[in-house]
Every structure is written in structure tokens, then in C-alpha cells.
Chain A
Amino acid sequence: MVAFTLKSAGLVVIESTNGQEALAKLSTGRVDLIITDLNMPVMDGLTFIRQARGKPNLRFTPILMLTTESQESRKMEGKAAGATGWIVKPFQPEQLLKVIQKVMPA
């Protein structure tokens, strides 16, 4: 759903199924934005964010995390891990685009 919205908005999207896979795909090169869920197999979202922040090419890349309503405390953990912002699932496509507009480099 996220990928679909982004592609419809004309963005190029690289998808991964877990944090480990994402880190491997992002090991070189640059992206403008990373969106990650918190609940993922193999490597969860928080670990992923922390590890991404340790990579020179991902240090300042905006990272949005997807949370659920019940994860208020994890929002703060996400902030501490280095996330740029958050969006609560489920969301409207417009909301996603709005927050992306806010964090993506012009």
C-alpha cells in the first residue's frame, strides 16, 4: 500500500521485506527517503533505524516509521533511535504524501 501510493506519486521505490534486507540494498548509493515498519521479521524497525544511522551514506537520510496507535512509547524509542518522523497505520494516501513532502529534500 505504501509502495503503491509512492509509485502513484511518481517516486521510484525500492522494497525490502525486513531490516536486514533493506540494509543490504542500501549499503551503497543514496536514497531520498526511507519508510520502515516497526514490526518486521529478522530485523525489527528500531534496530534497522539504529543501524542505518551508523552508515555514512544513511546518516542524514529522512527515516519515517510506521507505527500503530498502541505504540505510543515506541514512538519515543524510534525518535531516540534516530527516526525523522512517524505516521500511524492505517493512514490515508494523502496523509502519507503530506508527511513525505515535509521531510523529503526539495
Chain B
Amino acid sequence: MNIDISAFQQAFFDEAADLIADFETNLLSLEDHPDSEELLNTIFRCAHSIKGGSATFGFPAIAKFTHSLETLLDQVRDHKVILTPELTALLFEALDQVRQLFAVAKGEAADAADDADLIRRLESAAVGGVAAAVPAKAKPDEGWGVWSVAKRYRMHIAPGADVLRKGADPMLLLSGLADEADILSIRCDESRLPTLEALDPETCYLAWDLELVSDREPGALLEAFDFIAEESEITIVEIEAEAQAPTAVEAASGPRSSGEQTVAVAKPEAATLRVSADKLDRLINLVGEMVINQSMLSEATQNFTTAKLPRLLEAVASMERASRELQERAMAIRLVPIRQAFARFPRLVRDFAASSGKQIELKTSGDETELDRTMIEAIADPLMHLVRNSMDHGLETTEERIAAGKPAEGSLWLRALQEGGNIIIEVADDGRGLDRDRILKKARERGLLAGDAPEPSNDTIYAYIFEPGFSTAAEVTDISGRGVGMDIVRRSLQAVNGAIGLTTTPGQGTCIRIRLPLTMAILEGLSLSVGNEVYVVALTSIVESIQPRSQDVHLLSGRDEVVSVRGEVLPLVRLHAIFGSEPNVTDPSQGLLVILENDGRKAALLVDELIGQSQVVIKSIEANHRKVDGIAGATILGDGRVALILDVSQLLRMNAGLTASAA
């Protein structure tokens, strides 16, 4: 019975996160279908499971809160309480509190808002009335704080009759407990003690009841008794501090600032990944095949004669097949449906619509599209930003929409789809579109475009919104428009090798398109050689490769080399000059030029020759050595050599800087 439950807590947190998400999704649908029994039942089950789990895993605060939530839901389910918009709002509020409580339980937040008032409202709703929120919550004022209070426990220890014969000494164990906890009282239970004649000196008849104070978790205290746990009866219960009676006088100092919430410190989720048993089974099957292949190989190479060559080749071919599939399957384990990233938006849109008075309908598609887990995490904030932008700036108010002859309700689309080796995510709205003239004006103001320069193409103009500090928002609102927007979005997407672009039609809407690689760990690359070194460039940033004629290469102002490719003049980047390696070719017309493109910036990279296209596994250099400019990582080639993977966007920027400083 003595199990350290903390080991299971993480699994419980994972499950609870799913349950909370389900709760929210179904509650959102319930707003549109208030009569659905099925939705109500699902919501009730979620609350019920959270309550049960939190009680089992030792989170009484969560259990207590969800209990009152469950009671209310039960009444709603039985039609004893009618679901009103106020009640739904209360349920959303309760859900946020559950989230907050979990953040505290996980140690991400210091303290959750006091939920006594919310519990009171849930309870009164369960008997039929929605009580008004008490405006002043008993949240501590800035002025004091409590980190941790040692807990009180009541413990019962009844060692099995045979423990003495097994060499365990209960006294020793009790004094071990005293190292971990402060024993307030101890009472020895002698009721099992027989008369002296019947007493077997080697049998343990005694049991103890203790009251103790400790800052340890119950599981840690029980550890002291691991040795005798099996045959003994040992229980530990936390004595909850009596419900604190609210102080009659509210502290008069300082009004409670609105929106003050415990802010969870951004802490990466514990890196556990739940994988479907199905995916795992297939993986294990493949490993089995690999083992068979391996024995085929060793059989074929033992006492090798040329006669065995066909069999060797066959074994190698089948090994290759299996390893490729193994790689794919292993990568698939990291893939999770993008639904996880989309799930937070229905609520966000609902809350925004409610507070802004705009009518917004969110439509998602491609929820099942799978994406690398790290990628999902990386795009969460950029997506949030884009959605907020669309709602705040893109979509007009209901009056404006009606005046423009559009449907009163604005539409917001979140779409995900797979396109070759890329995942495309689109955030689109049918709002007013980008204000081309205002962007142009702003660009001139900020000096991005010379005041007298001719108007560039529309695409170039719209791309200005991705420049740092560029905001056309007339006024800064709560939601967005602080001018630190789109360039951060773009940069965080670039950090995961993604790209962003947009299309917009005045009066009809804007569509932001994000392109992400399927995974960050594997790169479709082109290997190229310079001298003895081999470099790999992501295929996505290569436009073409050419062999220039010597008359196409020019020297600008005597030092910057450029090459003209079909009329377009591109800077010529000598890879060997950047990395200081010894090339075989220094004359561009003898080597090859690989035309690279990134961020709309192009350059021609001079290399000795192209080796070939291959999938390479990216190994971090930063994690093992340090960040090297212009290098995204390294990989191991088929012949065992290490090749560096070029960071094209940085390389182009470095080159621009190099020439700028040289000029």
C-alpha cells in the first residue's frame, strides 16, 4: 500500500490538462446548444474525474473546489437548475479557477485567488440562484505573503505481527520519522497486547497514533516505513486547517487593483509525451525487423565470398527500408495534432467578442494536421498574437460591417494543412483588410522608404508591417497595437525555420500564412563542398544553382563582388571567405553559384561543387559547444564525417554586414 504517489502526479496533471480542455470545448459548444444532454454529461464527467483524481493524488484544494462545481453540474444535468448565460459565465469563471489551482499544484504559481466566494456562488447556483460576485475578494494585499506552511498530519502505524522476526525495529523507524517531522503527540495503542503468559516476545503487538508537523509530502513521510509497509497498516492523513473565518473588517489600505491575478512563471512543461499505444507497437515491430536484418547482415558477411554478394546486397537493401521506416515512425511519435494549439482560441474569441461587442465566429479546419510537439509550443504565442490582431484591427464593429453591407457577424478562420514537407497555418478574417496608404505613409515616416522614392509594389508595402516597431494602430488597445507585434511574430517563426506572408484585399479581409517545416530535427538538404569541407544548405532556401560566365561577375566600387543572373544583380558570397577555409576554386566561373533566398533577400554562394541531396539529422552545436555565427547545426554524413549546416538567413545578414562595414 505504500506507494509514493508523487510519481503518478505528473500523469495526473497531463490527464487533468486534457480534461480541462475537454470541459472548455464542450462548455463552448453548450453555449450554442444549451439543450444538449450529451455535452452536459461530458462536462459533468470531466469535473467528476478531476475531482476524483485530485482527491486521490493529494490535492484537497482542487478536490474541494471541483466538488462544488460537480454538484452544480449535477443539478443542471437533472434539470433542477436552468442553464442561463449567467450560469455559463459562472462555469467559465470556475474553469479558470480550476486551471489556476492546477498551476499552484504544479508549483507554477505561488498562490491561487481565494475561491471561497466562487464556491459560495457555485453552491448558491446549485440551489437555484446565481449570486452576485462579491466585489472585494479576500486576496492578500501587497504587504504580506506566505511561502509555505508546514502541514499537520495524523498518522496511524500498526506494524505487522512479524516485523520483529524480520529484523525491523519499529522504534528505529519512529525515530527516523522524527528526523523528517516534528511529532506533536504520540499515543501507544496497547489493546492488542495479550497477557504475560500468552505473550510471544518476538511478536509485535503495539500500534501508534501520532500527530505531526512537517513540510514534507505524505509520500515522503511514508518512505521511512518502506521496509515494513507490506505487512503493516500505516495511514497518513493531512489535518486541514479549519476553514478560515473571513475577517470582519476588510483591510482598508489600498484598493485591490483589478485584474490582479497570480501570474504563473513561464516554466516549460515537464517533458513527458503521451504516445498512443498503437504508434509504439508499430515502432517496436520495426525494431524487431531491424534485429532480424542485422542478423541477416552478420550472417552474410561471415566468411564472406563473392557468391554471397547478392544476399549481402539484399540484406543491406532491407536494412535500409527498415531504418527509413523506423526513422519516420520515430519522428511520428513527436507529432501531435495541431488541435492542441487551436484549442485555446474558441475561448479567446468568445471572451474578446463579449468584451468588445463585436460578433465573431471562429471557424477552424485541419485540426488533425500533425506537427512536431516543439513546433506546436513555438507557434502558440505568434498564433495568439495574430488572432488577437485580426479580431482587434481586422474585424470591424458590427455597425461598421452593416454599413459596409457585410454580414453583421465577422468571420475568423484558423486553417491548417500539409503541403509537401511543410505545414501551412492560415489566420484569416473577412474584415477591413490592411490600410495600404497608412502603411506607406508610416514607412516613409520611419525612413524605411525614402520620402521621394517611387511607390513599391503592394507586396513590398504590406511586408513593412513585419518591420520592428511598426504599428499603424491609431490607438493602442488592451489587446494589441503596441508596435512590438509582427516583427516578433516573424522572428519567433524564423527561429523554428518557419516563414510568414500575407495577402489582403481592402474591405474584404486579410489572410496571414505561416509556413513551417514538418519537423525541426530532420532537414531536407543539399550538400556542397568547399575544399575539404562539406556544408549542408536547407533545400527550402535554395532557388537554383548556376555556373556563371566570367563576364557576369563584376566588382562594385572596387571591392563588393556581384554577379548578374539573367539581369538580376546578386551579391556574391564566398563561403570560404566567411569560414576561412581553403577552397579548391576561387574563380567563380570555375566553381558553382548556389542562389539562396531568405526573407526576400537573395545572394549567390560560391562553392566548389555540389555533392547531392539528402535528408540530414540536425545535431545542435550550441548545446555541445557554443553558438557559431552562420551555422545552424551539424550533421553526420554517411561516411562518418561531420558537415556543418548553414544558417542561410544569418549568413545573408552577415554578408550584408560584412560588405557594409567594408564599404
How far apart are the CA atoms of A91 and B140 in the complex, in Å?
Answer: 13
Known: A60-B181, A91-B144, A95-B144. A105 touches B247 (CB 8 A): no
B141 close to A (CB within 8 Å): yes
How far apart are the CA atoms of A79 and B110 in the complex, in Å?
Answer: 13
B134 close to A (CB within 8 Å): no
Known: A95-B143, A102-B146. A60 touches B215 (CB 8 A): yes
Q: How large is the interface on B (under 10, 10 to 19, 20 to 34, 35 or more residues)?
A: 20 to 34
The distance from the CB of A55 to the nearest CB of chain B, in whole angstroms, is 11
Enumerate B239-265 residues with CB–CB distance to A below 8 Å: 239, 241-242, 244, 247, 249-253
Enumerate 16 A-B pairs (CB-CB under 8 Å) in ascending A order: A60-B150, A83-B147, A84-B147, A85-B144, A91-B144, A92-B252, A94-B247, A94-B251, A95-B143, A95-B251, A99-B146, A102-B149, A102-B244, A105-B213, A105-B241, A106-B241
Residues of A within 8 A of B143 (CB): 87-88, 91, 95
The distance from the CB of A28 to the nearest CB of chain B, in whole angstroms, is 14
Contact A62 B150 (CB under 8 A): yes
Residue in chain A with minimal CB distance to B150: A60
B2 close to A (CB within 8 Å): no
Enumerate A45-76 residues with CB–CB distance to B below 8 Å: 56-57, 59-60, 62
Contact A94 B249 (CB under 8 A): yes
Known: A95-B251, A101-B244. A79 touches B182 (CB 8 A): no
Contact B182 A97 (CB under 8 A): no
How far apart are the CA atoms of A83 and B142 in the complex, in Å?
Answer: 18
Residues of B within 8 A of A83 (CB): 147
Among B142, B149, B152, the residue within 8 A (CB) of A84 is: B149
Interface centre among A56, A96, A102, by most chain B C-beta atoms within 10 angstroms, is A102
A43 close to B (CB within 8 Å): no
The distance from the CB of B184 to the nearest CB of chain A, in whole angstroms, is 8
Residues of B within 8 A of A105 (CB): 152, 213, 241
B214 close to A (CB within 8 Å): yes
Residue in chain A with minimal CB distance to B251: A94
A22 close to B (CB within 8 Å): no
Residues of A within 8 A of B241 (CB): 105-106
The distance from the CB of B510 to the nearest CB of chain A, in whole angstroms, is 45
Residues of A within 8 A of B242 (CB): 106
Contact B150 A101 (CB under 8 A): no
Residues of B within 8 A of A106 (CB): 239, 241-242
How far apart are the CA atoms of A62 and B252 in the complex, in Å?
Answer: 26
Residues of A within 8 A of B142 (CB): 88
Residues of A within 8 A of B253 (CB): 92, 95
Among B147, B182, B244, the residue within 8 A (CB) of A60 is: B182
Contact A98 B147 (CB under 8 A): no
How far apart are the CA atoms of A98 and B141 in the complex, in Å?
Answer: 10
Contact A60 B251 (CB under 8 A): no
B145 close to A (CB within 8 Å): yes
Interface string of B120-156 (1 = CB under 8 A from A): 0000000000000000000011111111111010000
Contact A101 B182 (CB under 8 A): no
Contact A92 B150 (CB under 8 A): no
How far apart are the CA atoms of A97 and B145 in the complex, in Å?
Answer: 13
A103 close to B (CB within 8 Å): yes
Residues of B within 8 A of A98 (CB): 140, 144, 247, 251
Among B144, B182, B213, the residue within 8 A (CB) of A99 is: B144
How far apart are the CA atoms of A88 and B447 in the complex, in Å?
Answer: 50
Among A57, A62, A85, A96, the residue within 8 A (CB) of B145 is: A85
How far apart are the CA atoms of A80 and B250 in the complex, in Å?
Answer: 31
How far apart are the CA atoms of A83 and B145 in the complex, in Å?
Answer: 11
Residue in chain B with minimal CB distance to A105: B152
Known: A92-B251, A97-B247. A103 touches B213 (CB 8 A): no
Residue in chain B with minimal CB distance to A102: B146
How far apart are the CA atoms of A99 and B250 in the complex, in Å?
Answer: 13
The distance from the CB of B611 to the nearest CB of chain A, in whole angstroms, is 56
How far apart are the CA atoms of A24 and B415 in the complex, in Å?
Answer: 70
How far apart are the CA atoms of A60 and B214 in the complex, in Å?
Answer: 6
Contact A95 B141 (CB under 8 A): yes
The distance from the CB of A6 to the nearest CB of chain B, in whole angstroms, is 15
The distance from the CB of B217 to the nearest CB of chain A, in whole angstroms, is 14
Residue in chain B with minimal CB distance to A103: B149
Residues of A within 8 A of B146 (CB): 84-85, 99, 102-103
What are the 10 tightest A-B residue pairs by CB atom distance, in nearest-first order?
Answer: A85-B146, A87-B144, A60-B150, A106-B242, A60-B213, A99-B144, A106-B241, A60-B182, A94-B251, A88-B143
Residues of B within 8 A of A57 (CB): 182
How far apart are the CA atoms of A103 and B89 in the complex, in Å?
Answer: 33
How far apart are the CA atoms of A103 and B413 in the complex, in Å?
Answer: 50
How far apart are the CA atoms of A99 and B251 in the complex, in Å?
Answer: 12
Residue in chain A with minimal CB distance to B138: A98
Residues of A within 8 A of B247 (CB): 94, 97-98, 101
Residues of B within 8 A of A62 (CB): 149-150
The distance from the CB of A15 to the nearest CB of chain B, in whole angstroms, is 21
Interface string of B358-373 (1 = CB under 8 A from A): 0000000000000000
The distance from the CB of B636 to the nearest CB of chain A, in whole angstroms, is 45
Enumerate B171-227 residues with CB–CB distance to A below 8 Å: 181-182, 213-215
The distance from the CB of A39 to the nearest CB of chain B, in whole angstroms, is 18
Residue in chain B with minimal CB distance to A56: B182
Residues of B within 8 A of A56 (CB): 182
How far apart are the CA atoms of A98 and B247 in the complex, in Å?
Answer: 7
The distance from the CB of A76 to the nearest CB of chain B, in whole angstroms, is 10
Contact A59 B251 (CB under 8 A): no
Residues of A within 8 A of B144 (CB): 85-88, 91, 95-96, 98-99
Residues of A within 8 A of B149 (CB): 62, 84-85, 102-103
The distance from the CB of A56 to the nearest CB of chain B, in whole angstroms, is 7
Residue in chain B with minimal CB distance to A94: B251
The distance from the CB of B153 to the nearest CB of chain A, in whole angstroms, is 11
Residues of A within 8 A of B249 (CB): 94
How far apart are the CA atoms of A53 and B213 in the complex, in Å?
Answer: 14
Query: Could you list 12 further interchain pairs (A-B, Cβ under 8 angstroms) beyond the known A85-B144, A98-B140, A103-B149?
Result: A60-B214, A62-B149, A79-B147, A83-B147, A86-B144, A88-B143, A91-B144, A92-B252, A95-B141, A98-B144, A98-B247, A99-B144
Interface centre among B213, B239, B251, by most chain A C-beta atoms within 10 angstroms, is B251
Residues of A within 8 A of B244 (CB): 101-102
Residue in chain A with minimal CB distance to B213: A60
Residue in chain B with minimal CB distance to A79: B147
Residues of B within 8 A of A91 (CB): 143-144
